[in-house]
Amino acid sequence: MPDAAAHASSSASRPAASSTPPAAVPPVYVVGGGPGGLATAAALGAHGIRAVVLEKADAVGASWRGHYDRLRLHTTRRLSGLPGLPIPRRFGRWVARDDVVRYLEQYAEHHHLEIATGVEVRRVDRAAGGGWVLHANGGRELAAGTVVIATGYNHTPHLPDWPGRDDYPGELLHAGDYRNARPYAGKDVLVIGTGNTGAEIAVDLAEGGAARVRLAVRTAPHIVRRSTAGWPAQATGILVRRLPPRAVDRAAHVMRRLSVPDLSAHGLPMPDTGLYSRVLEGAIPVQDVGLIDAVRDGAVRPVAAVTSFDGGTVRLADGDAIEPEVVIAATGYRRGLDNLVGHLDLLDPHGRPRTHGAHTLPSAPGLHFTGYTNPISGMLRELALDARRIARAVAAAGAHRGEDGTAYS
């Protein structure tokens, strides 16, 4: 692995704009070794720009390695490849978790990416003479003219602070710690949250031998078929994402009535807001990988939202009370950017970057973000597009800076 603090010229060197030798020009630092970070590093390399990926774990794709066993991409293999290397056909149409990890490993090797593992960037500051200083573990300070933050959409597990939660005597875990149903065979399990993760974990538990599986629903989700007559839901998402939300909402309502049964009698009513309107608020539809049948067959029973814990009792919003042995909270993640860049006034009230991709804020030139949206057209596809846009913007700006803040082209 390269020394993350080493400053070397790009293999495709260009004439310097000052007398400072090219060896003093730092690389573009990419913070995060997931799909977004690797794609951006590869796209920068295609423009002859040296990039060094800083990854706090000991290998690329750390978040993917930690996902539950049965996870597969909900987007197609063909529409999920990163720049410069398609996902191998042998991985199938819906790529499994372990194959995503293999692909990311192959991707880094194929593009000869420079990756420094075990480097955790904890804070990004403006440098006195322009550019940026990255403060990393071990007391390291890395200077850069351009930085790409790609630490991931699902960075920090979020566990709501329900009243009485800390006194619950059963097993309470976040979905990020769930791997498979084996430890829960024969047990009464409550899954909280009806996003894609919660829905799939509930199905996995039911199929894996849990004695009872309940799914706590705060807001009824939109459910779509992963594919219909061979046409993937992702392709529809790509086609409609630029259309007026109201028109997409109407079309999605018709499509749901044609393709998804009414589960109201089973405790999962039709949503009262439009599908695309919800997407714009950050709620991606649930792609059916068994939830419809599990709810209809009674293997997964929807219940009301959780309001509090009272000893071993979980109290629900409709006044009901249940006593599960295990509670799995599929309650989402936070972006985890506050400590890293929160002091730079770059985040919105929800902790998300106020700009992303090729665009940077006037107050933060050379600081890019990728992977902090959850698009209906597919996360990996958008990361690939973002990577190319960022690389073009960096190349056009000639954004290499020496330690004294002097710009190079």
C-alpha Rg value of the chain to the nearest Å:
23
Domain ranges, residue 293: 159-329
Tell me which amino acid residue 242 is: R
Residue 67: phi and psi, rounded to 5, are -75, 165
Quote the tokens at residue 114.
């420079």
Task: Please give the DSSP secondary-structure letter assigned to residue 29.
Answer: E
255 and 220, same domain (yes or no): yes
131 and 165, same domain (yes or no): no
β-sheet bridge partners, residue 315: 308, 321
Tell me what pLDDT residue 153 has: 81
Residues 6+ apart with CB under 8 A from 296: 261, 263, 266
Please state the pTM of the whole predicted model. Answer: 0.88
274 and 136, same domain (yes or no): no
Residues 6+ apart with CB under 8 A from 384: 39, 81, 82, 83
| Number of domain units in the chain | 2
Tell me which amino acid residue 308 is: S
30 and 175, same domain (yes or no): no
Asked whether residue 17 is domain-assigned, the answer is no
User: How confident is the model over 107-129, as pLDDT tens digits?
Assistant: 999 999 999 999 999 999 999 98
Residue 220: phi and psi, rounded to 5, are -60, 130
126 and 51, same domain (yes or no): yes
267 and 198, same domain (yes or no): yes
List, in sequence order, every beta strand (DSSP E) within 95-222. 114-117, 121-126, 132-136, 141-144, 147-149, 156-157, 171-174, 188-192, 212-217
Asked whether residue 16 is domain-assigned, the answer is no
Does residue 82 contact residue 61 with C-beta atoms inside 8 Å? no
Asked whether residue 13 is domain-assigned, the answer is no
Helix axes 97-110, 35-46, angle to 10 degrees: 20
DSSP letter string over 111-124? TT-EEEET--EEEE
Closest to 389 (Cα-Cα) out of 170, 83, 85, 24:
83
Task: Please give the DSSP secondary-structure letter assigned to residue 214.
Answer: E
Asked whether residue 187 is domain-assigned, the answer is yes
Quote the tokens at residue 379.
């996360």
**Torsional class of 405: left (φ above 0), alpha (ψ -120 to 50), beta (otherwise):** left
Asked whether residue 243 is domain-assigned, the answer is yes
Quote the tokens at residue 255.
């499509």
Asked whether residue 11 is domain-assigned, the answer is no
Asked whether residue 92 is domain-assigned, the answer is yes
β-sheet bridge partners, residue 132: 126, 144
Burial class, 398, CB count within 10 angstroms (exposed 0-12 / middle 13-18 / buried 19+): middle
291 and 173, same domain (yes or no): yes
The CA-based dihedral angle spanning residues 387, 390, 393, 397, taken in that order and rounded to the nearest 10 degrees: -120
Neighbours of 301 (CB within 10 A): 17
262 and 197, same domain (yes or no): yes
pLDDT in tens, the chain (409 residues): 444 443 333 333 333 333 344 445 789 999 999 999 999 999 999 999 999 999 999 999 999 999 999 999 999 999 999 999 999 999 999 999 999 999 999 999 999 999 999 999 999 999 998 999 999 999 999 999 999 999 988 888 999 999 999 999 999 999 999 999 999 999 999 999 999 999 999 999 999 999 999 999 999 999 999 998 889 999 999 999 889 999 999 999 998 888 999 999 999 998 989 999 998 888 889 999 999 999 999 999 999 999 999 999 999 999 999 999 999 999 998 888 999 999 999 999 988 999 999 999 999 999 999 999 888 899 999 999 999 999 999 999 984 443 333 333 3
β-sheet bridge partners, residue 142: 134
Domain boundary among 329, 356, 388: 329
Tell me which amino acid residue 314 is: V
Return the CATH number at 89.
3.50.50.60
319 and 390, same domain (yes or no): no
User: 3-class SS at 152?
Assistant: coil
Domain boundary among 311, 329, 347: 329
234 and 174, same domain (yes or no): yes
Quote the tokens at residue 294.
């599990």
Asked whether residue 70 is domain-assigned, the answer is yes
Helix axes 35-46, 379-397, angle to 10 degrees: 40
309 and 357, same domain (yes or no): no
Residue 35: phi and psi, rounded to 5, are -55, -45
Domain boundary among 329, 352, 369: 329
Burial class, 362, CB count within 10 angstroms (exposed 0-12 / middle 13-18 / buried 19+): exposed
189 and 80, same domain (yes or no): no
